[in-house]
């Protein structure tokens, strides 16, 4: 019969804050495998940036009557990344877009076993720790693929055994930065293209669309401007987009080549903002003030908004 030499085995984890957990609690955590191997299961996931100490000691006396000294092994865990929960609140939703947008294009350390698969991934912290989580798929760069990782892990939640620090980045509160519109648009169109390819709709894309629309509505133009009508050439109708830096009475007058007024579009009082789409840009149905369809040719349109005026050319082609 073999007997097991009595020994003490203690596994402890310590955070920088000083908080200590003892992982070794009962005999069931140990499995003896063969003569020289004992496997230990801590029964919970090690915490982030935790120094783990494994101390083995024994009461064996050697030939000289000395007790064997204890052996201590020490290692430190890295960061824990759940691919897609970039803001670390424990679930994957639209707010995880914020850190990806914030760190868009940033590069850093590649995760050895990085992927978009929903499993805990140990990571080495980037120079900016928050960016480590924004690299959802662990390929060392923050880009559209990380948006896809959020999309693919949509609505997933982390295992409740994980103790997550509270999110603390200021960007996590709101989608309110109009400078992010272009990046959000890249995300949105990237998701839309991919959805079309794989034939699966994206809730994230829909959420992004709303955010982009809201940002457009909230952001005010720096200058008042008349923009190119579309379509152009056209038949029979066209839209004339513009933007207003201040609220103004707005009218658009259409002239022929000889400078004769053809049509006045009185748009009334308009708030500052963008009037770019078919829903809010000026619309001309190609008719004169008397309701007649206008002949093919080149015309001019002039906007008047307070003291601002601007002119452009349009073409009716029948
Ligand atoms: Ca999250
Ligand atoms: Ca990435």
Ligand 1 centre to CA of 189 (Å) is 22
3-state secondary structure of 54: strand
232 close to 317: Cβ distance less than 8 angstroms: no
- Domain range annotation of the chain: 7-77, 80-216, 225-316
Q: Write down the pLDDT at residue 165.
A: 53
CA dist., res. 68 & res. 243, Å (int): 82
Ligand 2 centre to CA of 7 (Å) is 46
Ligand 2 centre to CA of 91 (Å) is 18
Helix pair 181-198, 203-218: axis angle to 10 deg: 150
Ligand 2 centre to CA of 95 (Å) is 17
Ligand 2 centre to CA of 51 (Å) is 27
- Locate 69 and state its tokens: 């000294």
Q: Which ligand has the shortest distance to the CA of 100?
A: 2
Q: Write down the pLDDT at residue 173.
A: 47
Q: Write down the pLDDT at residue 160.
A: 55
- Taking only the tens of pLDDT, the chain with its 318 residues reads 455 566 788 899 999 899 999 999 888 888 888 877 888 888 887 888 889 999 888 777 777 776 666 788 998 888 889 999 999 888 999 999 999 999 999 999 999 889 999 988 989 999 999 999 999 999 999 999 999 999 999 999 986 545 555 555 444 446 888 788 999 999 999 999 999 999 999 999 999 999 998 888 777 888 999 999 999 999 999 999 999 999 999 999 999 999 999 999 999 999 998 899 999 999 999 999 999 999 999 999 999 999 999 999 999 998
Residue list, CB under 5 A from ion ligand 1: 85, 87, 89, 96
Q: Which ligand has the shortest distance to the CA of 150?
A: 1
Q: Of 78, 79, 80, which Cα lies nearest the Cα of 158? A: 80
Ligand 1 centre to CA of 160 (Å) is 14
Q: Write down the pLDDT at residue 48.
A: 82
CATH number of 225-316: 2.60.40.4070
- Locate 290 and state its tokens: 């008397």
């Amino acid at each position: 019969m073999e007997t097991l030499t009595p020994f003490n085995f203690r596994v402890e984890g310590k955070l920088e804050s000083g908080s200590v957990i003892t992982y070794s609690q009962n005999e069931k955590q140990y499995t003896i495998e063969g003569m020289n191997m004992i496997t230990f299961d801590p029964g919970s996931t090690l915490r982030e940036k935790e120094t783990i100490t494994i101390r083995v000691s024994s009461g064996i006396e050697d030939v000289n009557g000395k007790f064997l000294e204890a052996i201590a092994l020490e290692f430190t865990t890295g960061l824990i990344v759940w691919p897609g929960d970039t803001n670390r609140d424990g679930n994957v939703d639209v707010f995880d877009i914020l850190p990806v947008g914030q760190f868009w294009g940033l590069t850093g350390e590649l995760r050895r076993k990085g992927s978009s698969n929903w499993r805990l991934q140990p990571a080495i912290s980037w120079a900016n720790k928050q960016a480590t989580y924004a690299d959802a798929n662990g390929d060392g760069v923050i880009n559209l693929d990380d948006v896809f990782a959020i999309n693919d892990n949509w609505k997933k939640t982390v295992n409740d055994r994980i103790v997550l620090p509270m999110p603390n980045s200021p960007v996590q509160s709101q989608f309110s930065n109009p400078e992010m519109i272009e990046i959000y648009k890249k995300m949105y169109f990237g998701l839309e293209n991919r959805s079309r390819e794989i034939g699966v709709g994206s809730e994230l894309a829909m959420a992004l669309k709303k955010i982009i629309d809201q940002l457009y509505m909230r952001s005010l133009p720096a200058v008042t401007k008349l923009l190119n009508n579309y379509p152009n050439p056209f038949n029979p109708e066209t839209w004339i987009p513009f933007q207003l830096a201040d609220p103004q009475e707005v009218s658009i007058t259409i002239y022929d080549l000889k400078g004769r007024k053809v049509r006045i579009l009185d748009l009334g009082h308009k708030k500052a903002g963008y009037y770019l789409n078919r829903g809010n840009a000026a619309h001309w149905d190609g008719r004169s003030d008397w309701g007649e369809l206008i002949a093919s040719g080149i015309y001019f349109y002039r906007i008047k908004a307070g003291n601002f005026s601007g002119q452009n050319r349009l073409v009716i082609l029948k």
